[in-house]
């Protein structure tokens, strides 16, 4: 997903019922759990049948049509929903009701643990889909493996890069992108001094904060079954909060909300100097002006490569599906060959073979000066994603309540470390209320 927008009321209510379901025991068995195999996929394709596929994507119908063209005895009903939030809420309602879920559904990587613990997603390992491991980047493969289960296959990815406005940098006398966070903070001061209406970045939202903590080497969330540890003052979290909070309190970060109309105008009008986002943003750069942007690796503390994922989704089969083998066949189709070619037409790819495709790697974009081959920077970022990251099994709730603590501190130019502690307390209390053993 490119725009992480969370609908608080819907997701908070859904998350609570989902957690209670998860810890009370998962519903229903699955043919995967009772001995599904790769041979079952072949048998299911021969037999044919009907599948339902929920989505928020505009290209899903094309993927379904391509699959059914190869397998005319299969019918797929694609149901378009508004966005990932609406999809999760609808799926959570089906889980609570015990019926009504689709066969196939995309899931954001950050939501995978939550839905897995509820028993919503079927394990694809028995169908042999774990054999595709080497085709995907390490970080996206890790994201679809939750609690010892392969609960889907990666679609796109979002290794973080820094896209910066060369006009704004030049106007401040800066000739190259920062390689360290010390250089970044120095550039921030220069940019804002040269043009008080310009900022190096916005304060950020929940998705940005978690990715930046990840890129800073933080590991604030750890889950082992029902045992959850939250430490938003670990070394990486605190280093990021100290640095970001310093710029915030100096008035060097823009108050604009990411993806707002005002934010879009600021980018087009040369008032925002950098975008630190997933590499899917490379393909969107020209939306904010042409021939003025460049892509650089994310700054790091010591200048050595280090990145994080920001956004992205996988494709899953639900536990309620009555035809998991046939649904697994669709995932198999999207993993390789013609199906994967369709997937890779949008977003930044998760398949390592694409990185070796010279036509793709050498592509240029109107947004970037000097005909920069921007995809190559994204590839390097993908290879430097720091391993070991985990999301919370209630990450949706965490993102929703982010605004009550850290979001308020951003708006008030307050103490980010104090706000992270407040966010942590809210998450610890919530997790324990839902039956997890948090920080115990």
Please determine whether the domains at 8-157+311-353 and 160-308+365-438 fall in the same fold group of CATH. Answer: yes
Contact 200, 187 (CB under 8 A): yes
What string of pLDDT tens digits covers the 440 residues of the chain?
333 322 222 233 344 444 544 454 333 333 433 346 789 999 999 999 999 999 999 999 999 999 999 999 999 999 999 999 999 999 999 999 999 999 999 999 999 999 999 999 999 999 999 999 999 999 999 999 999 999 999 999 999 999 999 999 999 999 999 999 999 999 999 999 999 999 999 999 999 999 999 999 999 999 998 999 999 999 999 999 999 999 999 999 999 999 999 999 999 999 999 999 999 999 998 999 999 999 999 999 999 999 999 999 999 999 999 999 999 999 999 999 999 999 999 889 999 999 999 999 999 999 999 999 999 999 999 999 999 999 999 999 999 999 999 999 999 999 999 999 999 999 999 999 999 999 99
By C-alpha distance, which of 84, 127, 123 is closest to 106? Answer: 84
Q: Rounded distance, CA 378 to CA 226, Å?
A: 35
| Distance, CA of 51 to CA of 48 (rounded, Å) | 10
Extents of the domains making up the chain: 8-157+311-353, 160-308+365-438
State which fold the 160-308+365-438 domain adopts.
Answer: D-Maltodextrin-Binding Protein; domain 2 (3.40.190)
Give me the sheet containing 221-224, strands edge to edge: 221-224, 227-230, 437-438
CB atoms within 10 A of CB 28: 10
Q: Model-level pTM?
A: 0.91
Q: Decide if 195 contacts 189 (C-beta within 8 A).
A: no
R_g (Cα) of the chain, nearest Å: 22
Residues found in the chain: 440
Sheet containing 160-165: which strands, arranged edge to edge?
274-278, 160-165, 293-296
Fold assignment, 8-157+311-353: D-Maltodextrin-Binding Protein; domain 2 (3.40.190)
For residues 318 and 146, what is the distance between their CA atoms, to the nearest angstrom? Answer: 14
Whether 177 and 231 have beta carbons less than 8 Å apart is answered as: no
Q: What angle do CA 55, 225, 241 make, to 5 degrees?
A: 75
């Amino acid at each position: 997903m490119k725009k992480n927008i969370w609908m608080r009321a819907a997701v908070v209510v859904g998350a609570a019922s989902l957690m209670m379901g998860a810890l009370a025991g998962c519903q229903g068995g699955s043919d995967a759990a009772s001995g599904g195999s790769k041979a079952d996929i072949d048998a299911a394709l021969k037999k044919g049948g009907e599948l339902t596929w929920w989505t928020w994507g505009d290209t899903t119908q094309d993927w379904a049509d391509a699959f059914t063209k190869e397998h005319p005895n299969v019918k797929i009903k694609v149901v378009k929903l508004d966005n990932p939030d609406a999809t999760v809420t609808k799926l959570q309602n089906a889980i609570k009701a015990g019926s009504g879920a689709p066969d196939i559904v995309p899931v954001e990587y950050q939501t995978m643990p939550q839905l897995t613990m509820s028993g919503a997603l079927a394990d694809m390992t028995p169908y042999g889909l774990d054999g595709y491991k080497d085709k995907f980047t390490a970080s996206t493969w890790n994201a679809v493996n939750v609690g010892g289960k392969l609960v889907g296959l990666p679609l796109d990815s979002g290794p973080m890069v820094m896209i910066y406005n060369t006009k704004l940098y030049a106007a401040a006398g800066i000739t190259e992108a920062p390689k360290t966070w010390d250089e970044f903070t120095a550039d921030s001061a220069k940019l804002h001094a040269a043009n008080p209406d310009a900022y190096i970045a916005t304060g950020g939202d929940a998705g940005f904060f978690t990715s930046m903590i990840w890129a800073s080497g933080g590991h604030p969330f750890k889950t082992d079954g029902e045992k959850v540890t939250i430490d938003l003052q670990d070394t990486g979290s605190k280093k990021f909060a100290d640095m970001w909070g310093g710029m915030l309190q100096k008035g060097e970060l823009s108050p604009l909300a990411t993806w707002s109309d005002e934010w879009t105008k600021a980018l087009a009008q040369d008032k925002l100097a950098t975008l630190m986002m997933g590499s899917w943003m490379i393909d969107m750069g020209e939306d904010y002006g042409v021939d003025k942007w460049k892509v650089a690796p994310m700054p790091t503390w010591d200048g050595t490569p280090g990145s994080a994922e920001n956004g992205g989704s996988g494709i899953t089969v639900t536990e309620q599906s009555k035809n998991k083998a046939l649904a697994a066949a669709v995932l198999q189709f999207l993993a390789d060959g013609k199906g994967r070619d369709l997937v890779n037409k949008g977003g930044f790819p998760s398949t390592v073979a694409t990185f070796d495709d010279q036509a793709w790697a050498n592509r240029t974009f109107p947004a970037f000066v000097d005909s920069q081959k921007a995809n190559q920077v994204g590839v390097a970022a993908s290879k430097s994603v720091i391993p070991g990251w985990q999301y919370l099994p209630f990450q949706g709730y965490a993102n929703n309540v982010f605004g009550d603590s850290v979001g308020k501190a951003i708006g008030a130019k307050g103490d980010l470390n104090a706000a992270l502690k407040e966010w942590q307390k809210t998450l610890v209390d919530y997790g324990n209320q839902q039956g997890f053993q948090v920080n115990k």
